[in-house]
Amino acid sequence: MQQNISIIILTLNEEQHIKRCIESLQGFAKNIFLIDSNSTDKTVEIAESLGAKVYVNKWPGNHAKQFQWGLDNCPIDTTWVMKMDADEYVLPELSNEISSELEKVEEDVSGIYIKRRVYFLNRWIKYGGYYPTWLLRIWKYDKGHMEQRWMDEHIKLSSGKTVQFENDLVDDNKNNLTWWTEKHNNYATREAVDLLNIIYNFKSYDEVEPDISGTQEQKKRWLKIRYAKLPLFLRPIIYFTWRYIFKLGFLDGKAGFIWHVLQGGWYRFLVDAKVNEIYFHAGKEKESILKYIKKEYGISFE
């Protein structure tokens, strides 16, 4: 049953995923908006054939700016908004839950948390602290905005309570490992800069407050601040060990082993290598680091 909700999806060459994503939303969404960054494949054609409304906006440099552009420029006429990635889809159980329960949510509720399950090489990654991952994915349009961070951005609510829905959405990217490693190489640059921002406070954001006893993103933000203060190259070893051994990542089998080594080990090590490279070339003075990351990566905090 169609609900009073609009979906925003960011896309760039997502013809492999977009049909699956949109079809999973059609049971409850009033509007589906794509913010496309000039795709050269059939993403736009597929989306429009399924009834989605496509808006093209040149990639502004990071996910947060592009998503906020969508919030500001799409003709959203619904009470609720939902954020989806193109390589995600909603399980039928969650579609039914949104259809039946969204209109029953109490008036003082402004946000709804959804569980995400990650698939990798056709394997559900259940362990290593990866499930359940609770994400604020549905919120009242006039009560939320996207944090303007270079990495690890979340929706921040201005007021209201939150609730949790029971069922899941799925993150299942079908691209190959070459694509995956290239993507995470780009992420590692932004993550390195984000960790340096924690240390040097290049810029303060209007963001979710760190809180170890709060929501999942508040806990994650609190832990990230502590992580940033650990020694370079020791922290990825600690993090991988915690995930793979203490959080039982080894129970995810061969696909899980590859996932946890790459995402929990290699990626975190690469982030530290990039931080070390910045220190090597720029030293440890705040202004010289700012100049270096602007020159080398085009990242500015102005």
28 with 163, same domain: the answer is yes
* Same domain as 204, residue 116: no
CA gap 294, 292 in Å, rounded:
5
Cα dihedral: 167, 115, 125, 28 (round 10): 50
Q: What is the pLDDT of residues 132-165, one digit of tens each?
A: 999 999 999 999 999 888 788 889 999 999 999 9
Q: What average pLDDT score do residues 198-225 get?
A: 85
Statement to judge: residues 123 and 197 lie in one domain: no
Claim to verify: residue 185 and residue 165 sit in the same structural domain = no
Q: Flag whether 123 is in a domain.
A: yes
Residue 290 within any structural domain of the chain: yes
pLDDT tens, residue by residue, 32-59: 999 999 999 999 999 999 999 999 999 9
**Does residue 232 share a domain with residue 126?**
no
Looking at the fold, whether 66 and 212 belong to one and the same domain comes out as no
Does residue 125 surpass a pLDDT of 90?
yes
Distance CA 91, CA 17 (A): 15
Residue where a domain stops, chosen among 172, 193, 215: 172
Q: Is residue 194 part of a domain?
A: yes
Distance CA(198)–CA(96), nearest Å, equals 41
Angle (nearest 5°) at CA 147 between 143 and 148: 135
Per the CB < 8 A criterion, the answer to whether 97 and 113 are in contact is no
**Same domain for 97 and 199?**
no
pLDDT of residue 54: 98
Same domain, 15 and 136: yes
Average pLDDT score over residue span 2-15: 96
Question: How many beta carbons lie within 10 A of that of residue 262, not counting itself?
Answer: 17
> Residues 162, 185: one domain?
no
Say what the pLDDT of residue 110 is: 97
253 found inside a domain: yes
What domain count does the chain have? 2
What average pLDDT score do residues 78-104 get?
Answer: 97
Among 172, 188, 216, which residue terminates a domain?
A: 172
* Segments forming the whole domain that contains residue 207: 177-297
Q: Is the torsion defined by CA of 126, 220, 302, 155 positive or negative?
A: positive
Residues 229 and 150 in one domain: no
User: Is 256 inside any structural domain?
Assistant: yes
Band the pLDDT of 209: cuts 50, 70, 90.
confident
Residue 137 lies in a domain: yes
The residue among 172, 198, 213 that closes a domain is: 172
* Spatial contact of 256 and 128, defined as CB atoms under 8 Å apart: yes
Q: Over range 222-240, report the average pLDDT.
A: 95
Whether residue 48 is found in the same domain as residue 12: yes
The CATH code of the domain that includes 120 is: 3.90.550.10
286 belongs to a structural domain: yes
3-state secondary structure of 21: helix
In a domain, 302, yes or no: no
| pTM score, whole prediction | 0.94
> Higher-confidence residue: 183 or 1?
183
Q: Within this chain, do residues 145 and 280 fall inside the same structural domain, yes or no?
A: no
Q: Nearest Cα to 7, choosing from 30, 27, 23, 40?
A: 30
pLDDT tens per residue across span 22-38: 999 999 999 999 999 99
